[in-house]
């Protein structure tokens, strides 16, 4: 059974810092990996999707990497802003074409 772990569970940084969120998964047989953002009481917004054949994806200040063989992905946020404060969820699509979510990282960027 696929298990997805996100570290840290919570993170508080001052505005302007570059930061890295970590995601690990136990079964490397995945189709793709997605990073989502969730604001309090809201649904999920897809940030980046990395196919299993890809190593990284970039969108603006966000960069996600994927090392499938080691079961790891990182989400890099450059020059963090207070508006980046949210919960970031990592999810992998694996056997049965199903998404398995990590527990999330709650990010607070202080002005």
Partner 1 sequence: GAVVSQHPSRVICKSGTSVKIECRSLDFQATTMFWYRQFPKQSLMLMATSNEGSKATYEQGVEKDKFLINHASLTLSTLTVTSAHPEDSSFYICSARDSSGRRNEQYFGPGTRLTVT
Does residue 68 belong to the site contacting partner 1 (CB under 8 A)? no
List the one residue from 22, 44, 54, 56 that touches partner 1 (CB under 8 A): 44
6: β partners: 23
Q: Tell me the C-alpha distance between 66 and 52, whole Å.
A: 8
Displacement of CA 54 from its chain's centroid (Å)? 15
CB of residue 21 to partner 1, shortest distance in Å: 14
Residue 76 vs 101, nearer CB to partner 1: 101
φ, ψ dihedrals at 85, nearest 5°: -60, 120
Chain positions contacting partner 1, by CB under 8 A: 31-32, 34, 36, 41-46, 49, 51, 89, 93, 97-99, 101-104, 106
């Amino acid at each position: 059974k696929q298990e997805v772990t996100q570290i840290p569970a919570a993170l508080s940084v001052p505005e302007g810092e570059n930061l890295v969120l970590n995601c690990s998964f136990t079964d490397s047989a995945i189709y793709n990996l997605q990073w989502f953002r969730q604001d309090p009481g809201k649904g999920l917004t897809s940030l980046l999707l990395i196919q299993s054949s890809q190593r990284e994806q970039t969108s603006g200040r966000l960069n996600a990497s994927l090392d499938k063989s080691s079961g790891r992905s990182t989400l890099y946020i450059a020059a963090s802003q207070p508006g980046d404060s949210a919960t970031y969820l990592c999810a992998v699509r694996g056997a049965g074409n199903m998404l398995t979510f990590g527990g999330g990282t709650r990010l607070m960027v202080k002005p």
